[in-house]
Structure 1
Amino acid sequence: MSAQAATARPLSTPAARPVRRLRALELPALRRRPRLWYGLIAVAAALGIVGAQMVLSVMTTQSSYELARLNSQHHELTLQKQVLDDELAGLGSPQYLAANAAALGMVVDKTPSYLRLSDGKILGAQKAASSTSAITLGKGSVANELIADTPLVTDPHATIDGNDKQKKTSTTENMTPVPVTDGLPTVRTH
């Protein structure tokens, strides 16, 4: 039955097809250009970042050079302080004070006297010191190299050794170095 029903049915008339007409296409929509301002802002921001990085790099480099200069200056000042401390220690040494006291005419009293502060009484021999007991640096004393060339207070040309400072410097300035004729000097072992 179904085969008969399918053949028995009349075919419907095709629906009216719309008539197609040829027509010109519309102009394609214009593409919007990217905004110029957005590009300029992006380029300016990139240049700003690069510029800031360069400025920070230069400042860091400059501060490192400044730090190195200050460290060098600190080192030099530390060395100067050490030299001044050595000079101060030499000027306060017993040898220098004794030599200046002798240059001023002071003498050592073999029998000292003492003043008692409670009642003002003088205890001791109460004799003046003789000029034969002058302060001297004998052969048994050890030389102090910190003050070897330091002039005495009373005589700027005399040193603690009693030598004239001008004579000492003139003899060392006139010395010529020993010429080396055949290379570096070496110790002879044969």
Structure 2
Amino acid sequence: MTSNPSLPVRPLPCAQPCFPWHHFSMRFSSTPRGARLARRLAGERFDAWGIPYGSDAHDALTLLVAELCANAVCHGLVPGRDFRLCLSAEGTALRVEVTDTRGERIPLLTEPSGDLDGDSDGGRGLVLVAALADRWGWYPCTDGPGKTVWAVLEPGPASTPRPLTPPQGGAGS
């Protein structure tokens, strides 16, 4: 086998990476307890990756995990099937992915039903995801039933707070 000296051996690093490459993936039971455990483990993982508890980026990422996991339990539940949480950090981006086995119920960004100041328990999850994430979306699983909903956050140098209004133009890609 011959090598070509004109090809780089390693990919070039992105400009000023904030995070070295990290990855975390685990299955959780599709129950409120499983969603709560996923959120707590994600919070610990973000802290270990250098995103400290109490920072704006940590709070935003933990809320993204909580909402996506709650949606997987509430809307993606297939009895006896778990959901999977995958976290990754590379360069300046942090990615949260939650995979469930219910492919026919696709996530739609809609206005919350009912009174926002009232007693309604749900309907705000994807609105929060859209407000906190730089981009988000979903794709169907190719190796079986289900879908993956993902969100990406690229915190600034000082992790400045982000406005809580949904971006114009829908869900993003």
Aligning the two structures, in what range does the TM-score lie when normalised by the shorter sequence? Answer: under 0.3
Larger proportion of strand:
2
- Computing the radius of gyration from Cα coordinates, the structure with the larger value is 1
Q: Which has the higher relative contact order, 1 or 2, with Cα contacts under 8 A spaced 6 or more apart? A: 2
Larger proportion of helix:
1
* TM-score relative to the length of structure 1: 0.18
